[in-house]
């Protein structure tokens, strides 16, 4: 049965009932967290019967929940068709005073698996199964709140899948997440991540809401990026930058370039200088992400000295740069580690749903050769 949240609110079939019934239904779902239409007692009996016959309010079934020592929580949900997806609840980092803000970020998925095959990403190893519906996207937020009882500060669409490849469902889900009759989350508290689907970035730029946009860049030139990210063979950095500049022009300063650092692949000072030029041109902040090792992939996290030198090159060029602190890596919940898993005999087993070629050590050596950079020297960062 179709979830009522899979449709835009304007398309709900309420028969002859007045329009204000929509807000009443939303209050029951989002305010009182009631998912059984028969229990929505402020609605006429006939409407409750009609809704029960036509719609459901899909709820996600919690398969398992894992908590890392740093407080990060990973939820494994089972969908109505048996597919599995994950959401991750991330605590705020400790401040200089050692205190942790009461702000949590929920990382949610938009697809089961991912079709874009970034060479360093765990989600892509499983291939793509299907898009999530709007109700399944919104359901992750409702279910995480129900199970964690923690205040949500921000939402990031950085889980499994490419959000802009599921654009229509994303738009419907955002209407429920942002609207006052839904969850009322401000657009500036929502970050949408993309590998760089240029036409959809242009389309998102026309949306009146000012969502934060995170570009999964990960390489500062087309030659290297096309080896790491197949999407770069379709859209060049020039095309991507033009779309990003238009987005910032329409929305203000809300753009971030995400850059996973792979040792001896994209972490040389020359790369930092190229990255700096791109960021300054687009008006983007930079978020450096030390690679989180993934079983079956050959990439390594740079040593601290390489990371520091890379960051220093960017900072001296005038870029606003942060280094993401790894969280949840002990439970495979950190960035790039989201995987479909199933419980077999009480232990985790990867759900090998699609065969996908895993890069070998030879692939990594080829990428290093393609980079054609001299050995790292701290003096090069000056």
| Catalytic residue annotation | 86, 335
Q: Does 162 count as an annotated binding residue? A: yes
Contact 155, 23 (CB under 8 A): no
Q: Is 275 annotated as a binding residue?
A: no
Residues 6+ apart with CB under 8 A from 217: 196, 225, 257, 258, 259, 275, 278
- Give the integer Cα–Cα distance in Å for 301 and 120: 11
- Give first-to-last CA distance, the chain, whole Å: 62
Residue 161 annotated as lining a ligand binding site: yes
26 is in an annotated binding site: no
| Residues of the binding site | 114, 118, 121, 161-162, 193, 216-218, 292
| Residues of the binding site for [4Fe-4S] cluster | 114, 118, 121
| Residues of the binding site for S-adenosyl-L-methionine | 161-162, 193, 216-218, 292
């Amino acid at each position: 049965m179709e979830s009522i949240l899979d449709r835009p609110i304007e398309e709900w079939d309420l028969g002859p009932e007045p329009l204000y019934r929509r807000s009443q239904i939303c209050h029951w779902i989002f305010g009182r967290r009631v998912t059984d239409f028969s229990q929505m007692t402020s609605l006429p009996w006939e409407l409750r019967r009609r809704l029960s016959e036509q719609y459901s309010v899909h709820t996600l079934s919690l398969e398992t929940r894992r908590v890392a020592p740093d407080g990060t929580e990973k939820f494994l949900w089972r969908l109505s068709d048996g597919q599995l997806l994950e959401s991750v609840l991330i605590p705020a980092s400790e401040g200089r005073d050692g205190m942790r803000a009461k702000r949590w970020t929920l990382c949610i998925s938009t697809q089961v698996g991912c079709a874009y095959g970034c060479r360093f990403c765990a989600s892509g190893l499983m291939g793509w199964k299907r898009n999530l519906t709007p109700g399944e996207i919104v359901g992750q937020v409702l279910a995480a709140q129900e199970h964690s009882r923690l205040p949500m500060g921000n939402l990031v669409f950085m889980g499994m899948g490419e959000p802009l490849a599921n654009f229509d469902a994303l738009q419907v889900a955002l209407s429920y997440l942002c609207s006052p009759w839904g969850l009322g989350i401000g657009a500036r508290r929502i970050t949408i991540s993309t590998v760089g689907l240029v036409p959809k970035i242009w389309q998102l730029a026309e949306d009146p809401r000012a969502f934060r946009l995170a570009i999964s860049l990960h390489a500062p030139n087309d030659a290297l990026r096309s080896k790491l990210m197949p999407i770069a063979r379709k859209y060049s950095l020039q095309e991507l930058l033009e779309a990003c500049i238009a987005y910032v022009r329409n929305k203000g300063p809300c753009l971030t370039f995400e850059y996973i650092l792979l040792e001896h692949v994209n972490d040389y000072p020359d790369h930092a200088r190229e990255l700096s030029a791109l960021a300054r041109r687009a008006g983007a902040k930079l978020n450096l992400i030390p690679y989180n090792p993934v079983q079956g992939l050959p990439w390594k996290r740079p040593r601290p000295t390489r990371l520091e030198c890379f960051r220093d090159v960017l900072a001296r060029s005038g870029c606003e740069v942060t280094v993401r602190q790894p969280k949840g890596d002990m439970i495979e919940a950190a960035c790039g580690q989201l995987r479909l898993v199933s419980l077999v005999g009480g232990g985790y087993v990867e759900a090998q749903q699609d065969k996908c070629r895993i890069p070998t050590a030879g692939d990594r050596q080829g990428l290093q050769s393609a980079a054609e950079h001299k050995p790292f020297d701290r003096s090069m960062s000056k």
